[in-house]
Amino acid sequence: MTSGAGTTPAPRSGGLHLAAAVDARGLEVDLAVRPGEVVALLGPNGAGKSTALGLVAGLLRPDRGRVVLDDDVLADAGDDGRTRTWVAPHRRRTALLAQDPLLFGHLTALDNAAFAPRARGAGRTAARAGAARWLERVGAGSLADRRPAQLSGGQAQRVALARALAAEPRLLLLDEPLAALDVAAAPALRQLLREVLRADGRSALLVTHDPLDVLALADRAVVVDGGRVVEEGPAAEVLAAPRTPFPARLAGLGRLRGTAARGGLVLPSGRVLPGALAPGCRQGEPAAAAVPPSALALAPPGSPGDLALDVVAVEPRGEVVRLRGADDGAWPGPAVDVPLAQAAARGVVPGRREAVVVTGAAGVLVRPAR
């Protein structure tokens, strides 16, 4: 949130600067998207992710703060909510691709893709020619004459992407673009998004609940919780060594507690989980690390193991059964994958305490824990 009396000067670095509050949604965020950067916006349902997109698109007015895109002030409500600047959505040069393709049902795929150029005053022929190129680009060239009702979910989302790109947006707003697609269609569209975003050096703000989307598409991740930005960093780093519970849960990591030491995290058993200490984490102090289930295994019967896991859930996952430990406050507890045969032989049920040993996870990041 910007502070000080009245209007603060706009940052002069291009890209998106969103520092605004919407009181009715309990949102007060401060985030940036640099030119050519893809930022994943993560957070639990109701955290304010879509509200943030709405602020950028111009579908919502901020109660305070400002929205700046490529040095243009799109919205400025100052610190007192008195709107000083308001640019209508259609003059912002952004484009929105949501979970639902929201194609215009009365237009063909081609005319859907030609919508934005037409709306900006291009002639029908020129707009259609450009639209046809975008449909080709997203692999929907053969669908040009179809109506949205004749398209599958994946095809419709391709056409919606072509429609968004044809608007030549300065910033692409992606609101869970793959969430509604079936498992067969999602990977192809993810790959397409990756190509389109990377090849053309586009700026995008991507809301997603899928860690694969974050890793494949985003440069940076911003975590919003309770209407505030609680964590941000390089996408891979946020998912591998999360500072806050939400990305840990998203990445399937569980929290292990222990004591910080030179070589990593000392578990209650004395075993050291190898890793590096995060800045501000001092040896000998309580600490924690987030580890994937693949780093843990059940201890041999009779052995005390490195830690005890109170099983709260048993989830079959193909060849393994995942035993989930109890949450540690807001953090997900550790989980361990047990081969089916072993699970069947031992009998795994929620409510039992299992001994677990550390088998892998080289290089976790050890953070201070209070």
Using CB under 8 A, list all residues that contact other proteins: 57-59, 88-96, 98, 100, 102, 104-106, 115-116, 118-120, 163-164, 167, 173
CB closer to other proteins, 74 vs 311: 74
Strand partners, 338: 321
Per DSSP, 326 falls in state: P
The least CB distance from residue 13 to other proteins, in Å, is 24
Q: Is 193 helix (H, G, I), strand (E, B) or coil?
A: helix
CB closer to other proteins, 175 vs 213: 175
The least CB distance from residue 191 to other proteins, in Å, is 24
CB closer to other proteins, 172 vs 214: 172
- The CA angle 262-256-287, to the nearest 5 degrees, is 45
The least CB distance from residue 68 to other proteins, in Å, is 17
Of the chain, the end-to-end C-alpha distance in Å amounts to: 27
In one-letter notation, the amino acid at residue 278 is: A
CB closer to other proteins, 31 vs 96: 96
The least CB distance from residue 115 to other proteins, in Å, is 6
CB 266 within 8 A of CB 272: yes
The least CB distance from residue 164 to other proteins, in Å, is 7
Burial group, residue 139, by CB count within 10 angstroms (0-12, 13-18, 19+): middle
The least CB distance from residue 55 to other proteins, in Å, is 12
CB 273 within 8 A of CB 282: no
CB closer to other proteins, 58 vs 227: 58
The least CB distance from residue 114 to other proteins, in Å, is 11
Rounded to 10°, the helix 153-166/124-137 angle is: 130
CB closer to other proteins, 116 vs 178: 116
The least CB distance from residue 283 to other proteins, in Å, is 52
CB 19 within 8 A of CB 30: yes
Residue 263 CA, distance from chain mean position:
31
- Within 8 A by CB and 6+ apart from 299, the residues are 305, 306, 354, 355, 356, 357
CB closer to other proteins, 95 vs 221: 95
The least CB distance from residue 220 to other proteins, in Å, is 23
DSSP string, 241-294: S-SSHHHHHHHT-EEEEEEEETTEEE-TTS-EEEEEEPTT--TTSEEEEEE-GG
Cβ count within 10 A of residue 368 = 15
Q: Measured between alpha carbons, how far is 203 from 368 in angstroms, rounded to an integer? A: 34
Strand partners, 266: 259, 272
Integer-rounded Cα Rg, in Å, for the chain is 24
CB closer to other proteins, 94 vs 208: 94
CB closer to other proteins, 100 vs 285: 100
